[in-house]
Amino acid sequence: MKTHVLFNLFATFLLADGLNIEDSAGQFFSSGHTNNWAVLVCTSRFWFNYRHVANTLSVYRSVKRLGIPDSHIVLMLADDMACNHRNPKPATVFSHKNMELNVYGDDVEVDYRGYEVTVENFLRVLTGRLPPSTPRSKRLLSDDRSNILIYLTGHGGNGFLKFQDSEEISNVELADAFEQMWQKRRYNELLFIIDTCQGASMYERFYSPNLMALASSQVGEDSLSHQPDLAIGVHLMDRYTFYLLEFLEDIHPASKANMNDLFKVCPKSQCVSTPGHRTDLFLRDPGSVLITDFFGSVRKVEITTEAIDLTDPIKEVEERPANGDVHKEMHSYVDQLPVSEIIHQNGKLCATSTNKMSLCCFHGDVSECEMQLPRGLGVEGPP
């Protein structure tokens, strides 16, 4: 009897402990994502749009600091401000006047730059329909358990965003691209932040699930820039992203700040425009979504108790030279400017006598394109 009671007690204790583990495990996997990606796009060209590049780079800097590696960030900058000839301090992009913070840094990898930042490339990156020879760093290799952060900045209007002063992307196209991503299971949850004039119009048309969107201004309002720097001569940052950067500088990888704090960034008193957000398509409550779910890269670890058999260690194969060393051929360097060889190239004399010369062409059949040089070079040819 006693052993029976003891056994019951023991069983209940184990069960209670088991429940505790399940609870913490449940909390561990609450967000459902296993990896993080970020797509940061600056769509403006020309020196006076310095602030858009500074915006994108400051989000890049925060995202890198919180743990997302370069291989998981697709950074698209439509113009080069750091090494622009107008930049009085080359290789730097500042976000604050008096040059306090260089958001460009010393370790930056830009994946799409200059003319490569087009609407087509942006949509191809999102949907994954890239040409087969595209390198890995230019692809968004997300899966159905990826949380993606998409940040766009530039000049925009009611329902569109201007790319490089020559084309636009509309909110319908963007919504359709996200739907394609959803159908292809290319994201688990997606956070979309846009800092342009009338930014809220860009997320009006979204209809795919698990999307959360933030914009710096409502329809009919302009997003304003923060402050100019007299030494550099342009406005350095936009207001919304400036206060966003300030907010993110306080976040560290173990921070428990949630999305409701992010919605409060830059109220009307600081931003002049009214930032907006949209959470109706998002399945979880924004209060339970951590900032680091999108901005950071907190790796989840699964502990397993299975034993894995390792293969036998690979024995290094010693290279035996074949046939001994006797008959190895002598190599030599190539003559860099073999004048006589060049003149007698392809078996045909290119300079026969002092008066006649022929033009050597390099197609498959030399005879078909041999022609006489005209009078300018001292040749008597047929008129």
Partner 1 sequence: HYAAAQKQAEPAVLQPTPQPKDDFQEELVVRPLHSGDIYASFQFRTLWETDFMRGNKVSHYRLFPKSLGQVISKFSVRELHISFTQGYWRTMQWGQPYLPSPPGAELWVWFQDSVTDVDATWKELTNVLSGIFCASLNFIDSTNTVQPSASFKPLGIGNVTDHRFLRYATLPREIVCTENLTPWKKLLPCGSKAGLAVLLKSEKLFHSSFHSQAVHIRPVCQDWQCKTTSWELRQTLNVVFDLHNSGQGKREWSLFKMFSRTLTEACPLASSSKIYIDITDNPEQFELSPATSLLSQAMVLGDRRTFSVYDLTQQDTFGSVRSLNLLIRWKSTEGDMLRPLLHAERYVAGYGLQTGEIHTLMYNHHPYRSFPVLLLDSVPWYLRLYIHTLTVTSKGKDNKPSYIHYQPSKDRVRPHLLEMLVQLPPNSVTEVTVQFERALLKWTEYTPDPNHGFYVGSSVISSLVPSTVAMDTNSTRERPLFSSFFPCKEESSYFVRVYTEPLLVNLPTPDFSMPYNVICLTCTVVAVGYGSLYNLLTRSFQIEEPSPGLAKRIANVIRKMRGVPPL
Which positions are catalytic?
A: 155, 197
Residue 254's identity, in one-letter code, is A
Structure tokens of 7?
Answer: 């056994």
Structure tokens of 245?
Answer: 């950067």
**Is 308 among the residues that bind partner 1 (CB under 8 A)?**
no
**Is 19 among the residues that bind partner 1 (CB under 8 A)?**
no
* Beta strand residue intervals within 258-330, DSSP E: 276-278
Residue 30 contacts residue 188 (beta carbons within 8 Å)? no
Instruction: Please report how close the Cβ of residue 351 comes to partner 1 at its closest, in angstroms.
Output: 5
* Among positions 250, 280, 329, 368, the unique one binding partner 1 when judged by CB under 8 A: 329
* Among positions 249, 300, 350, 370, the unique one binding partner 1 when judged by CB under 8 A: 350
Looking at residues 38 to 77 of the shown chain, list those that interact with partner 1 (rule: CB under 8 A).
45-46
- Counting residues that bind partner 1 (by CB under 8 A) gives 64
* Among positions 6, 83, 172, 231, the unique one binding partner 1 when judged by CB under 8 A: 83
Looking at residues 95 to 154 of the shown chain, list those that interact with partner 1 (rule: CB under 8 A).
104-111, 113-116, 131, 133-138
* Among positions 26, 287, 313, 383, the unique one binding partner 1 when judged by CB under 8 A: 313
* Among positions 377, 380, 382, 383, the unique one binding partner 1 when judged by CB under 8 A: 377
Structure tokens of 32?
Answer: 């459902």
Decide whether 93 or 175 has the Cβ nearer to partner 1.
93
Decide whether 80 or 176 has the Cβ nearer to partner 1.
80
* Among positions 336, 365, 367, 368, the unique one binding partner 1 when judged by CB under 8 A: 336
Output the CA torsion 124→130→136→137 (10° steps).
Answer: -30
The C-alpha atoms of residue 219 and residue 202 are separated, in whole angstroms, by 9
Residue 143's identity, in one-letter code, is D
**Is 315 among the residues that bind partner 1 (CB under 8 A)?**
yes
Looking at residues 214 to 233 of the shown chain, list those that interact with partner 1 (rule: CB under 8 A).
none
Cβ neighbours of residue 297 closer than 8 Å, sequence gap 6 or more? 35, 36, 66, 67, 68, 69, 72
Strand 189-195 vs strand 146-153: parallel, antiparallel, or unpaired? parallel
Phi, psi at 192, each rounded to 5°: -115, 120
Q: Is the dihedral of CA 215, 216, 222, 224 positive or negative?
A: negative
Decide whether 27 or 332 has the Cβ nearer to partner 1.
332
Decide whether 196 or 217 has the Cβ nearer to partner 1.
196
The C-alpha atoms of residue 138 and residue 279 are separated, in whole angstroms, by 29
Structure tokens of 199?
Answer: 């930014």
The C-alpha atoms of residue 151 and residue 240 are separated, in whole angstroms, by 12
Decide whether 254 or 334 has the Cβ nearer to partner 1.
334
Residues making contact with partner 1 (CB under 8 A): 45-46, 80, 82-83, 89-92, 104-111, 113-116, 131, 133-138, 164-166, 312-313, 315-316, 318, 325, 328-339, 342-343, 345, 350-351, 357, 359-362, 373-374, 376-378
